[in-house]
Amino acid sequence: MFDKEKMSELARREAEWDEEVVQEWIKRVPERMERFSTSSGFEKRRLYTPNDVVGMDYQESLGFPGGYPFTRGLHATMYRGRLWTMRQFSGFGTAGESNRRFKYLLDEGETGLSVAFDFPTILGYDSDHPLSVGEVGVCGVAVSSLKDMEILFGGIPLDKVSTSMTINGPASVLLAMYTALGDAQGVPRDGLRGTTQNDMLKEFFAQNLCIFPPGPSVKLVTDIVEFCTRELPQWNPVSISGYHIREAGSTALQELAFTLANGVTYVESALERGLNVDDFAPRLSFFFAAHNDILEEVAKFRAARRIWAKLMKERFGARESRSMWMRMHVQTSGCALTAQQPVNNVIRVTMQTLAAVLGGAQSIHTNSFDEALALPSERAVRTALRTQQIVAHESGVADTIDPLGGAFSVEALTDEMEEGFWGYLDRIEKMGGVVRCIETGFFQREIADSSYEWQKEVERNERVVVGVNEYTSGDDWIPTRLLRVKQEAMGEQIEAVKRLKANRDKGKAQGALDRLRGDVEKDANLMPAIVEAVKAYITVGEVCDLFREMYGDYQELIVI
């Protein structure tokens, strides 16, 4: 791309500039740090020039938006045509309370729903289980049976919204409920749009919400991929997630590398199942974090798109463009928010949103500024949504496709990210693949080390966190209207689940459960039997109990 002679002339000039100008300058004005680095440990150079991207072949490395390798974006006109989906993750308390919150968000202009479930639901326990005490409806909405789902989506036509469900271990059960709800509303199955997170692998080393061991977990993920490929063509069966890996303390590069390694594992599993790559790959979606370091994050998003396109095309032989698309949802970083001077978080969220938009995200969730203190209040949720709207309509960054593309720094960082990825993938595969690395604690150790290192850097003041280790004076304005979940309402939920179990058609319920057990024994795809079971009001806990009995419980590998 660059003229060789001119480049060596440039290199000579740069060396000259460094020696004569920079070194002199530094003598008078020392730099703030000896070494500037990204979270991934890459050294940030003082200045980037064409010499840092001298090997770049424009067409090969970047291409045009909407074309291979999609570095600059998935769509021909990106946000000039349609803005990203503003999708705020929400859900708390009873299904009725969450239903009201959904309607509020839809009225406020949100374009997609996103459901947070409470811990009991996520871990496959009903609201009336002894382990659920004190946790029902606390971190998300309690859904034990199809009855709760009917209330949760009451008055919301499923053919008019797209719904993202953050659920992993019991993803098959919740997706079955959504399917059943669609059937009841008369919505054809190919009209259901949404996403189940259904990414079990990262649970074992990042989010830690595991129910069954890795083997059966990957089987269930693959059942959903197969079911969606055949029955729910507009549903994204898996959202391969780096968000939790990052929040657990990884660097940006580890987030990228471990997420894509998980993605490779799911693709291999689906191929082993006999699916055709171009039949399921277009529906695989991704979920990343956006942290504060804007350039590093943008480089991560761009590199991720390019790597996935290469993997799908070159390694898995995909032919359709859509199979090579890495569609990504991005959430701003929860762990970057501080409990100290919480209003400052509004600014952090803004930077992170900018990174996501400059990185070409398809949908974004912005965190609320009070999240380090409690569940977000309605006021803070509104500010978070407004942040996206301000970036969309007032910042101007959405008007040009990949506006940072071509910046020497961003291209150099993008290349470094990609190189770092291939290094990690190679290591992981040499160690026996993702499942093996989970069993040996490789990912767990990598993340724990990075997270500890970060903490130490903050404590040594090598990383400034405003309001935490610097600039700590001033008013600590604490929002007072924090959201509280009333435990009385939860008592009603617990009773309702007990009543449901006592009053449903027992013969039908038992029959459906028996069929499911039979399908587990036959190692069949379990989705059709689960759909039948939830229609008979078999609960999340009952399906998961059956699986726990047949597949076993996962025992956490403790790595500090």
Q: Where along the sequence are the contacts to other proteins (CB under 8 A)?
A: 119-120, 122-123, 125, 131-135, 138-139, 207-209, 247-249, 335, 338-340, 372-375, 448, 451-452, 455, 458-459, 465, 468-469, 478, 482, 485, 487, 556, 558, 560
Q: Which of 115, 113, 120 is nearest to 136 (CA)?
A: 120
**Residue 393 Cα distances to 330, 387, 390, 472, angstroms:** 19, 10, 5, 33
Residue carrying structure tokens 């938009």: 357
Are the CB atoms for 115 and 98 separated by under 8 Å? yes
Q: How far apart are the first and last CA of the chain?
A: 48
The nearest distance, CB 148 to other proteins, in angstroms, is 18
Comparing CB distances to other proteins, the nearer of 36 and 452 is 452
| Ramachandran class of 398: left when φ > 0, alpha when ψ lies in -120 to 50, beta otherwise | alpha
**Residue 452 Cα distances to 35, 251, 334, 445, angstroms:** 20, 11, 17, 10
The nearest distance, CB 130 to other proteins, in angstroms, is 9
What is the b/e burial string over 441-474, where b = at least 16 CB atoms within 10 angstroms of the residue's CB?
A: ebbbebbbebbeebeeeeeeeebebebbbeeeee
The nearest distance, CB 197 to other proteins, in angstroms, is 14
Comparing CB distances to other proteins, the nearer of 384 and 533 is 384
Comparing CB distances to other proteins, the nearer of 249 and 282 is 249
> What are 278's two structure tokens?
């171009």
The nearest distance, CB 120 to other proteins, in angstroms, is 7
The nearest distance, CB 136 to other proteins, in angstroms, is 9
- φ/ψ of 549, rounded to 5, equals -65, -40
Comparing CB distances to other proteins, the nearer of 375 and 544 is 375
The nearest distance, CB 134 to other proteins, in angstroms, is 3
The nearest distance, CB 445 to other proteins, in angstroms, is 11
Are the CB atoms for 110 and 104 separated by under 8 Å? no
Whole-angstrom distance, CA of residue 288 vs CA of residue 304: 10
The nearest distance, CB 102 to other proteins, in angstroms, is 20
The nearest distance, CB 87 to other proteins, in angstroms, is 22
The nearest distance, CB 244 to other proteins, in angstroms, is 9
Beta sheet of 239-241, edge-to-edge order = 85-86, 363-365, 327-332, 285-290, 239-241
> What are 246's two structure tokens?
């990052």
Comparing CB distances to other proteins, the nearer of 282 and 376 is 376
Are the CB atoms for 118 and 141 separated by under 8 Å? yes
The nearest distance, CB 345 to other proteins, in angstroms, is 11
The nearest distance, CB 131 to other proteins, in angstroms, is 7
Comparing CB distances to other proteins, the nearer of 132 and 196 is 132
Are the CB atoms for 291 and 336 separated by under 8 Å? yes
Helical axes 540-551 vs 214-231, angle rounded to 10° = 130
Q: Which of 187, 184, 180, 197 is nearest to 158 (CA)?
A: 187
> What are 286's two structure tokens?
């991704």
Comparing CB distances to other proteins, the nearer of 349 and 375 is 375
Comparing CB distances to other proteins, the nearer of 37 and 469 is 469
Q: Which of 503, 495, 508 is nearest to 534 (CA)?
A: 508
Comparing CB distances to other proteins, the nearer of 399 and 556 is 556
H or E, element range at 265: helix 252-272
Comparing CB distances to other proteins, the nearer of 199 and 226 is 199
Are the CB atoms for 546 and 517 separated by under 8 Å? yes
Whole-angstrom distance, CA of residue 197 vs CA of residue 238: 5
Are the CB atoms for 203 and 169 separated by under 8 Å? yes
Comparing CB distances to other proteins, the nearer of 126 and 402 is 126
Comparing CB distances to other proteins, the nearer of 87 and 246 is 246
Whole-angstrom distance, CA of residue 275 vs CA of residue 2: 44
Comparing CB distances to other proteins, the nearer of 495 and 556 is 556
Q: Which of 288, 330, 281 is nearest to 87 (CA)?
A: 330
Identity at 13, one-letter amino acid code: R
The nearest distance, CB 469 to other proteins, in angstroms, is 8
